[in-house]
Structure 1
């Protein structure tokens, strides 16, 4: 499947879901916001930031500089509780996550007393 075919299939799928939910009001929807999330191809921080900035221009938004404190660079366009978000996780944040995850399974809590 080409990228163009895949894009068309995603759009058709979203439209199909919207039509289905509209036609079936008894089917519940999430009680929280729904985000359609895009991650750029992994590259240098500068490359990923440039890609998010390019997407931000297409969306007509400005990336939120406060996200940089968390090691993220993102552009978000909301349609009520539904949003499109392009997100780059920068190298230092990925390294911190990998370091944090390296302890996974090393600490085992004592079993709680069932009584």
Structure 2
């Protein structure tokens, strides 16, 4: 699928979702919708440059928090955000995940079984 095909499919899907929700008022809607764009993995400088380029197109300021470099624009409860996850934050996450499966919490008692007794 080309970038143009993917773009057209995404836009069509968003419109189809909006039409579906409008036609089916009994279906609950989420609090918000977040559309995220992540630059291809590269150096921090290259990913930040891509976010800077997008920020200019959006007319949005750059935000930096929690090891993320991003820019976003809101349309009511809908947000489009371009975000680069910087190398230091990715390394922190990978270190954290290296413990996955090594620690097991004590079982939590079944609240329903306790109430039924």
Cα offset, 1:113, TM superposition: 5.2
Counterpart selection for 2:97 from 96, 101, 109: 101
Q: 1:54 and 1:112 mapped to 2: Cα distance?
A: 49
Matched residue of 1:107: which SS?
coil
**Residue 9 of structure 1: how far off its partner (Å):** 1.1
TM-score, reference length from structure 2: 0.88
Whichever of the two has the greater Rg, that structure is 2
Give every structure 1 segment of 4 or more consecutive aligned residues whose post-TM-superposition deviation is greater than 3 Å.
112-115
CA distance in 1, matches of 2:109, 2:63: 46
Matching residue of 2:34: 35
27 and 44 in structure 1: CA distance in 2 versus 1, 3 angstrom threshold: same
The CA RMSD measured in Å over matched residues stands at: 1.4
Of the structure 1 ranges 86-95 and 4-13, higher mean CA displacement relative to structure 2 is found in 4-13
Of 51, 69, 77, the match for 1:81: 77
- Any stretches of 5+ residues in structure 1 without a counterpart? none
Unaligned runs of 5+ in 2: none
| Alpha-carbon displacement from aligned partner over 1:28-58 (angstroms, at most 9, x marks no partner) | 111x221011111000000000000101111
Corresponding residue of 1:21: 21
